[in-house]
Amino acid sequence: MTSLIGKYAEAKTCVFWDTEDCPIPKGLNPESVYRNIRRALANKGYHGEVTIWAYGDKNQIPGYFESAGIKLDRAGVQEIKVERVERMRIGIFGWVLQNKSEALNLFVVSGNNMHFSMVLEACKEGKPGSCNILLAEPVNIPRRCCRTALDKLINEQEGAEWLWETLAAAGDPITTTTA
């Protein structure tokens, strides 16, 4: 995999992961997923600090995610999709504001990243040239016909998109070709 050169290679990365839409694949656990996400990012050239926030299953065994270094957002009734998405949006805005003077890699892992297109666009516009977008979606969802909004947010040089199952196993991002 090619290495990144530039401000995003050493920038902080925060992963906002919807654990209901993108559950831990069979044979893995939070620790292996955490390690594999870091490895996939490093293989792509991202070597900065990585933080992972998990959203979903508020009834999860206490410490299940936290013991692996993954922060769990337990607020709200997150079994309801709209509530989880809203909590993730708030988390994204909060993290970008908290790190407003730095280049950032913003990584959303969700069953429908279109839910985040407006918030991701606002983050990029609020931090021109300083907010790199990374995405992952599960393999079993239909590729959306209206992905143009998301596609234009992903920087061709530094951005990337993974299938969730591949990312969770430390795999490479999706390669795209232009016609």
Q: What percent of the chain has pLDDT over 70?
A: 82
**174 found inside a domain:** no
As a whole number of Å, the CA-based R_g of the chain is: 15
> What is this structure's pTM?
0.88
Output the pLDDT for position 154.
73
**7 found inside a domain:** no
Could you tell me if 160 and 173 are in contact, meaning their C-beta atoms sit under 8 angstroms apart?
yes
State yes or no: pLDDT of 164 exceeds 90. Answer: yes
Could you tell me if 44 and 162 are in contact, meaning their C-beta atoms sit under 8 angstroms apart?
no
Enclosing domain of residue 43: 12-168
Least confident span in 20-24, 48-52, 94-98, 172-176: 172-176
Output the pLDDT for position 147.
56
**46 found inside a domain:** yes
**136 found inside a domain:** yes
* DSSP notation for 25-85: PTT--HHHHHHHHHHHHHHHT--S-EEEEEES-TTSPTTTTGGGT-EEE--S-TTSHHHHH
State yes or no: pLDDT of 117 exceeds 90. Answer: no
**4 found inside a domain:** no
Domain count, the chain: 1
Which residues are within 8 A (CB) of 61 and not within 5 positions of it... i.e. 6 or more apart? Answer: none
3-class DSSP assignment, residue 120: helix
Q: Tell which residue, 141, 143, 136, has the closest CA to residue 165.
A: 136
Q: Average pLDDT of 22-41?
A: 96
108 against 127, higher pLDDT:
108
CATH code: domain of residue 74: 3.40.50
Q: Average pLDDT of 162-175?
A: 93
